[in-house]
Structure 1
Amino acid sequence: MRLSGLWPALLTPLHEDGAIDHDALAGLVTDLIARGADGLVPLGSTGEFTEFSGAERRAVLDTVLASAAGRVPVLAGVSGLSTNDTRALAADAAEAGADAVLALPPLYWKVPDDRVFEHFSAVADAAGVPVVVYDFPGLTAQPLSPGLLGRLAAEEPRVIGAKLTVRDLLAVIAALRATRPHRPDFAIVAGFEDLIPAAMWAGADGAVSGLANLFPDELVDLVAAVREGRADVAEAHRRVLAAFDVTELSAPAIPGLKAVAAALGRIPRATSRLSAGPQEAVLAAAAEWVAARGRG
């Protein structure tokens, strides 16, 4: 499996009672593939992975895999609180048929790089499929250092790349410099959409994008424009930047993203298991956002 291009980090649509809406999830998968997604990433941060039991995660993954039907690869989020949790989730995802797994470092405890390396190796042992490591220091407070990424590239062939949800382009450049001398095919992908062009120009392979649930055409076009060296790449980037403040409608961002997705008809409803204040306020902010931009 090659991690490159535009991979939507899937929302997990829910019914009003909070149960998983499998029909809506299947429809989202089908639509994103039709619009040009290179792969799919269920059960990441955008998918509210922290809010689901192991059985629910498996049910989400089963729906995504059945709907994708082998048309694009599926990178399953398997992050857990501990290494043992993550190993169990990784083994289950591989058994379900995921092409690869995406894992954060151990959560809660802050541990040295040697321990994080052991964590990812243990996940690879359990999964038996390729592993992509996930760096999101804004939420984990456990950044994956360039030294750690370089060691993974040099010593752990089962780790095939890293998703970097980082605000600093210099962190992307440092990751590329640390990994590519050891393994030119070690994938680096951006997790924040505003950094896509700069990250790809520096050598990154694409993006795992939560906003692609809402604006798939714009994100697919932006990645293609950078890949192809098109003259309109600045305009493609401007269209994405014009929507980037959608992440500010709620804290955490997912309820706001879901509210806009529902207003745009991308998913049936805005239900989230994450709390971001009164639901009415989030829905009103989303409606105002959509109206101000002439979308919908």
Structure 2
Amino acid sequence: MMMKLSGLWPALLTPLTEGGDVDHPALAALVEDLVLRRVDGVVPLGSTGEFTEFNAAERRAVLETVVRAVDHRVPVLAGVSGLSTAETCGHATIAAEAGVDAVLALPPVYWKVSDDRIFDHFVSVADAAGLPVVVYDFPGLTAQPLAPALLRRLAVEEPRVIGAKLTVRDVMAVTAALAATRPHRPDFSIVTGFEDLIPAAMWAGADGAISGMANVIPDELVALVDALENGRPGATESHRAVMADFDIYGLSEPAIPGIKAAAAALGRIPRANWRLDAGPEGPVLDAAAAWAAVRQPTSQRKDAA
């Protein structure tokens, strides 16, 4: 049965030890907590997971830990992106061997290539993984958006591509992707990567979100997506709660160290260590501590789950 990408999927943080190694017990604990909070799937080794900072052996170990922790309760969508098609295909093979359910891939990074070349890239990733593929559009970092015509071609010609994650600032890009794919492939999933766009994207017909903030405020995001999916009351209040925390993305540049520091300050992960270069860690930790100090305590979040 083909996996369906819908609902709320946390883009997992990758907790690290004080020495900078992957903290596998902390990663497993984070996954367990999120599964119990009724997320619809998990996404290790995406942008929030610092995928660029880990070698092949570390990636395999991360995925094996996540698959064990999930224990078939929700699907695992593994990030497999790399600089080249060959590198991405290598990561896709590793992900399949680790037992994930599907893979998430950016287009080739660094070189600008044609849409035909990007199409072939995703077909190669599907061949290497032998699993469903979700294509990842993040033009803010790749500077190479996935055009609606390319998404249409993937939807029509490559059934192993089951959807697209659109980390785009313009909701019109989401509606263009829906218009390009849904008339030809009603089962083709479109999800947003920015939490502020979740209501607009889902009202337009998108299926949900892959969210970095879900590591920190999972209950609020589960409630928001659930209300929007099922037409329940409370979506406005849930979105306001999410937007009250949206300034988490301004705690560091890039944003992931700040999210990690905020997660640690709220007790979501044991410590705030990262591999990305965000400058001196002191200002990031101070900003995250101040951010967390005015948020609801972690114990109250858990009691409300």
Smaller-chain TM-score bracket: over 0.9
TM-score by length of 2: 0.96
What SS does structure 2 have at the residue aligned with 1:16?
coil
Paired with 1:149 and 1:114, the residues of 2 have a C-alpha distance of 11
Who is 1:25 aligned against? 27
In the TM superposition, 1:88-103 aligns within 5 A as 88-103=90-105
Give runs of aligned pairs for residues 40-189 of structure 1, distance below 5 A.
40-189=42-191
Return the alpha-carbon distance in structure 1 between the equivalents of residues 185 and 296 of structure 2.
45
Q: Deviations over 1:113-141 (max 9, x none)?
A: 01000000011111100000000000010
- Kindly provide the amino acid, as one letter, of the partner of residue 155 in structure 1: E
Give the whole-Å Cα distance in 2 for the aligned partners of 1:246 and 1:164: 20
SS of the residue corresponding to residue 14 of structure 1 reads coil
Pairing partner for 2:217 from 183, 206, 215: 215
**TM-score of the two chains, using structure 1 as the length reference:** 0.99
CA distance in 2, matches of 1:232, 1:205: 18
Which residue does the alignment assign to 1:288?
290
CA distance in 2, matches of 1:291, 1:93: 38
Provide, for residues 165-219 of structure 1, a one-character-per-residue CA deviation record: whole Å limited to 9, x for no partner.
0000000000000000110000000100011111011000000001000000001
- Secondary structure of 2:49 counterpart: coil
Shift of residue 292, structure 1, vs aligned partner:
3.0
Unaligned ranges ≥5, structure 2:
299-305
- CA displacement at 1:294 relative to structure 2: 4.8
Within a 5 Å distance, the mapping from 1:261-272 to structure 2 comes to 261-272=263-274
Indicate if the aligned counterparts of 2:224 and 2:234 stay in contact, CA closer than 8 A: no
Q: CA–CA distance in 2 between the matches of 1:31 and 1:66? A: 14
Residue of structure 2 equivalent to 1:37 = 39
Q: Deviations over 1:256-296 (max 9, x none)?
A: 00000000000000000011111111100001111233545
1:293 match: secondary structure: coil
Distance in structure 2 (CA, Å) of the matches to 1:233 and 1:292 = 23
- Consecutive unaligned residues in structure 1, runs of 5 or more: none
Q: Distance in 1 between matches of 2:275 and 2:209?
A: 26
What amino acid does structure 2 have at the position aligned with 1:57?
A: R
* Partner Cα distance (1:270, 1:283) in 2: 8
Secondary structure in 2 aligned to 1:262?
helix
* Partner Cα distance (2:270, 2:30) in 1: 10
Task: Specify the SS of the correspondent of 1:132.
Answer: strand
- Deviations 1:127-164 (CA, angstroms, capped at 9, x unpaired): 10000000000001010000100000010111000000
Number of the residue aligned with 2:302: none
Q: In the aligned structure 1, how far is the partner of 2:161 from the partner of 2:14?
A: 26
Task: Tell me the percent identity.
Answer: 72
Query: 1:14 is matched with which residue?
Result: 16
Using the alignment, how far apart are the partners of 1:171 and 1:184 within structure 2? 18
Q: Supply the distance in 2 between the matched residues of 1:228 and 1:129 (Cα, whole angstroms).
A: 29
Pairwise CA distance, 1:16: 1.0
Work out the number of aligned pairs and report it. Answer: 296
RMSD: 0.8
Deviates more, 1:275-284 or 1:72-81: 275-284
